[in-house]
Chains A and B, each alone.
Chain A
């Protein structure tokens, strides 16, 4: 066998060593990183025992007497996610048309639009939340605006990709029958991309429930505010209860939005 397939058995050293060399390099950087970020084993072990203690303190989860406050905060979080995502989708749709190659042919217009979207996307939601707190003050409204802006960047990109993926034949048909550019978009493009876009928006509402739970940490409303507060005052039973609430809420939203997505686009389109 060795004689019949020489190149399987006698690979050159460079090919055989390439993978191990890459793995060694990756782990060398890891070790350097661990040293540079002051990972010391003693600190790690001490932290772990501390963590174990925290874990024991968390059981059983208990809201104490603040259950109504937490429920209200959860409602606030869901509201932030829903409103923020809707606002972002409404504003992103026209802009995404400008960023799509098959709608706007000139590169001069498309390029700046895309770079602006990229820049917005490069900044984390939490940073946007901090900026909006400076503008409208502490509270959930800042959270809504933060999510709206952060998602605007993401939606702009996703929508424009959906539009570029659309079939051009319908558009050509409408152009042939004498439709204007607006007609082309309204009757040729939108019917094709709306189901895709609706699916993405629903998916983002889902993932934004997660983001909305944390923007409270910087003071932009919702359940994250309660969570950060309880962690700071070391009320671990309340913390674990809040985490459980978040998990249940996210699971519920996951379930509802996947049902809705199936209803809108049909089961086949997702799989």
Chain B
């Protein structure tokens, strides 16, 4: 079987080729321009951030040797040769770790509760009044954009040092983040049940309770679990500003150059984060089926 390859006449080909070349040239030109602008921005940023490659190269050895040092015991041996000596403070650390987990749990639950209450006012389809929606949305945005640790700094001054400030900071930040996600779920909910319930003469509260909530709880729980995961990480640094948890121990160890303690505490944090990630992933899978995980 032979296949005929059609060969266009020279003139037609020239026109098409020219058009093609022009299109390619335009694309290349735009790419080039984009690269130049990006490179210029990077250069400006490098000047702004006082990047000094010489410092980096001179001190890069420090980075490597830092890990060398934190993996060495006072006796000069590697940490894993004497696990008992390495993890000497495990009782205290586990207690601090438990406090960290408790901070993130309580913070997430309080935040999720507030987000649950507020999200119906923030969602487009359920909000009782436009001005209320505007106010609630701005409020949530504020709670979300200001970093949790800034709240923690302020709360430490207001409520005193300790885990209370950490919990409240995490609660506020979670309210902002979850409120937005929750209201997005509500906006995707089916409105027909709401109409059905409203047609029976039910109040706004009843509409929410019997028509919207049953549709959205699974999504809520999934997002709340995800938030818990993130909050564990965040709670691990709350101690840096005096708001409780294991961060306090870590920052002391880093500042006072207790090298092997640094690696031991980091190890406990990493292991905990792993365990939490795996557990919540498994829990989400159990609760909502495989698809909900993706």
Q: By the criterion CB–CB under 8 Å, are B49 and A30 in contact?
A: no
Among B62, B110, B159, B233, which residue has its beta carbon within 8 angstroms of that of A47? B159
Instruction: Contact check, B162 vs A38: say whether CB atoms are below 8 A apart.
Output: yes
Contact A139 B50 (CB under 8 A): yes
Overall SS of chain B's interface: helix
Least Cβ–Cβ distance between A146 and chain B, in angstroms: 12
Given contact pairs A54-B157, A213-B147, A234-B157, A124 touches B50 in the complex (Cβ within 8 A): no
Interface size class of B (residues with CB under 8 A): 35 or more
**Residues in chain A near residue B131, CB distance under 8 A:** none
- Interface Cβ pair total, 8 Å cutoff: 166
Instruction: Decide yes or no whether A51 CB sits under 8 A from chain B.
Output: yes
Residues from chain B with a CB closer than 8 A to the CB of A217 are 149-150, 153, 240-241
Do B270 and A123 have beta carbons less than 8 Å apart? yes
The interface residues of chain B lying within 8 Å CB-to-CB of A143 are 49
**Known pairs A37-B167, A47-B160; A30 contacts B270 (CB<8 A):** no
One digit per residue, 1 when the CB lies within 8 angstroms of any chain A CB and 0 when it does not, for chain B 123-164 equals 000000000000000000010011101100111011110111
Query: Roughly how many angstroms separate A127 CA and B245 CA in the complex, as a whole number?
Result: 14
A43, A210, A234: the one within 8 Å of B145 (CB): A210
With an 8 Å Cβ cutoff, the count of chain A residues facing the other chain is: 64
- Within 8 Å CB of A134, what residues of B? 62, 66, 254
Q: Return the CB mask of A192-231 against B: 1 if under 8 Å, else 0.
A: 0000000000000000001101100110010010011001
Q: Are A33 and B105 interface neighbours, CB within 8 A? A: yes
Task: Report whether A37 and B244 are in contact in the complex, using a CB–CB cutoff of 8 Å.
Answer: yes
Are A78 and B45 in contact, CB atoms less than 8 angstroms apart?
Answer: yes
In the complex, residue of chain B having the shortest beta-carbon distance to the beta carbon of A243: B146
Q: Please name the residue on chain B nearest to A82 by beta carbon.
A: B45
- A-chain residues with CB within 8 Å of residue B244 when the two chains form the complex: 37
Query: Which residues of B does A touch, CB under 8 Å?
Result: 41-42, 44-52, 55-56, 59-60, 62-63, 66, 99, 102-103, 105-106, 109-110, 142, 145-147, 149-150, 153-155, 157-160, 162-164, 167, 233-234, 236-237, 240-241, 244, 250-251, 254, 266, 269-270, 273-274
List 21 A–B pairs whose Cβ atoms lie within 8 Å, in order of A's numbering: A26-B109, A27-B109, A36-B99, A37-B99, A37-B162, A37-B163, A39-B167, A46-B159, A50-B159, A51-B158, A79-B44, A79-B49, A122-B270, A126-B149, A131-B66, A135-B60, A140-B50, A213-B147, A221-B49, A227-B150, A231-B150
6 closest Cβ pairs, A-B complex: A79-B48, A47-B159, A79-B45, A122-B273, A33-B106, A79-B49
